[in-house]
Copies of this chain bind each other. A is one copy, B any other.
Amino acid sequence: MNSKLLSFNRRVRTTPYSDRVEQAGVTSYTVYNHMLLPTLFDTPESDYWHLCQHVQVWDVSGQRQVELNGPDAAKLAQLMTPRDLSKIELLQGKYGPICNAAGFILNDPIIIKLTEDRFWLSVSDSDVKFFAQGLVQGYGLDVKVFEPDVCPLAVQGPKSEELMARVFGEKVRGIRFFKGEMLEFRGVEMYVARSGWSKQGGFEIYMCDWSLGEALWDELFANGEDLYVRSGCPQGNERLESGLLSYGNDMDEFDTPFECGLDSYLDLDADIESLSLPALKAMAGKQTRKLVGLAFDRSPHMQPSRLGGSDIEVDGEIIGEIRSQAWSFRYNKNLAIAMLPLTYLAKNDSITIDGQTSLFHSIPFDFDQLV
C-alpha cells in the first residue's frame, strides 16, 4: 500500500507533547490506544543510528496506564496474569501477559506495583482496562479501575543515563532494569523507571501532570544539547533486532503465550489465583505453532495476509504468516517474525520465500548466526 494521510480528530487523542513533536518535524504516526504515536522523524536509517549512538526523547503517551486502586488491587492484578506477582517489590515493573480464561493473550503490559494497593498496568495496544472493569463487577472486587492522567516520556539511547541524571539528579544512575523511583520534577513526584521499548538503554518518565509536559520536554532538550539529544520514537528495525515483541503485530487475542515464546513469564506451578492458569496448564506442551525469527538478504515480495501481515506459502498452501518485518541497517538483513507450524519447524531448518532462504532463528536473534 502506498503512503496515505492520517485524519485527525478527538478520537485519536493528542498528547501533552504533541506540539513539541510537531515542531521536531515528525513525518508519520500510528494510532496506539486511541492516541497519536510518532513513527518517524528523519529517515529510518538516521533515526536508528542516532538512537544507537546518542539519546532520544520519545512521546510514548499511548502506552497508557490502567490503574488498579484499592484493597483488591493485588488480587485483581494476579487474576489477570499467569505470572506470579507475589514477590513483586514496590516500584518494580514485571512484564506479564494478560490472558483470558481460555489462555489467549489480551495484552502484555509491564505490571508496576506503586504501593500495596495501587498497581499500574503499563499497557500495549488494547483496552484491557475494560477486561479489568468486567472482572471487578463480576467478582465484586473492592478496587477502582481507571486510566489515570499519565503520559510516559521515554529517554532512550546510550547517553540517556547522563541526560536523566542532569534533569532528575544522580539518583537515577542507581536505578536497576525494570526498577523505578519516585523522583521530583518541578515539585511533582513522578515514577521514573529504567525501562523502555529499545535495547539501547534508557528510562521512562511516567509524567503525571499534563501542564508540566512541555516543561519536561524542554528541560531534557536544554540539558542534552552536547549529548546530541533529539526526538525519536519506537523503531521497528531496532525492536526486531532486540527481539521485543509487539502486541497486535506479533501476537494478539488469537494466540497463546506458548505460541509466542512467553513460557518464561508463566508461573504454572505457583500457588496463585490467576484466571487463565487452568487453561494454560491444560494446553502446556500442546501448542501446534510458534513464533520464529527469519532473516533474508532482501525484503521478500509476499502476498498480504488477511489482517495485514504476509502469508507464508509452501507448495501452494498457506502454512503461516510473517507478522512483522523491517530492514536491519546493522546486519544488512531483512528481519522478520513469523508464526509457523511446529510440524514444519521440526522437519526443516530453513524456509524459502520469494526465492530467498532463511534459517529459523530464536527470538531474540542470535547475531553470531546472522553475520
Q: Write the residues of chain A forming the contact surface with B, with a CB cutoff of 8 angstroms.
A: 1-14, 16, 18, 22, 26-31, 34, 39-40, 100-101, 106, 125-128, 130-140, 147, 210, 236, 246-249, 253, 275, 304-309, 323-324
Cross-interface CB contact of A138 among B40, B130, B134, B247, cutoff 8 Å: B134
A-B CB proximity, top 4 nearest: A138-B138, A134-B134, A11-B248, A127-B127
Q: Please, how many angstroms separate the alpha-carbon atoms of A39 and B136 in the complex?
A: 37
Q: Smallest distance from the beta carbon of A310 to chain B beta carbons, Å?
A: 9
Q: Please, how many angstroms separate the alpha-carbon atoms of A302 and B307 in the complex?
A: 38
Q: Smallest distance from the beta carbon of A62 to chain B beta carbons, Å?
A: 11
Of A40, A134, A309, A323, most B-chain CB atoms within 10 Å:
A134
| A210 surroundings in chain B (CB, below 8 A) | 306
The residue of chain B having its C-beta at the shortest distance from the C-beta of A321 within the complex is B10
Q: When the two chains form their complex, are residues B10 and A308 in contact, meaning their CB atoms are under 8 A apart?
A: yes
Cross-interface CB contact of A14 among B12, B30, B139, B304, cutoff 8 Å: B304
Copies in the complex: 2
Q: When the two chains form their complex, are residues B236 and A9 in contact, meaning their CB atoms are under 8 A apart?
A: yes
Q: When the two chains form their complex, are residues A306 and B16 in contact, meaning their CB atoms are under 8 A apart?
A: yes
Cross-interface CB contact of A137 among B2, B134, B304, B308, cutoff 8 Å: B134
A1-B22, A31-B31 known; A11 and B249 CB under 8 Å?
yes
Q: When the two chains form their complex, are residues B126 and A130 in contact, meaning their CB atoms are under 8 A apart?
A: yes
A27-B4, A100-B137, A275-B137 known; A10 and B130 CB under 8 Å?
no
7 contacts between A and B (CB under 8 A): A4-B5, A7-B29, A7-B40, A11-B125, A11-B246, A12-B308, A18-B304
Q: Smallest distance from the beta carbon of A370 to chain B beta carbons, Å?
A: 22
Q: Please, how many angstroms separate the alpha-carbon atoms of A151 and B318 in the complex?
A: 22
Q: When the two chains form their complex, are residues B5 and A18 in contact, meaning their CB atoms are under 8 A apart?
A: no
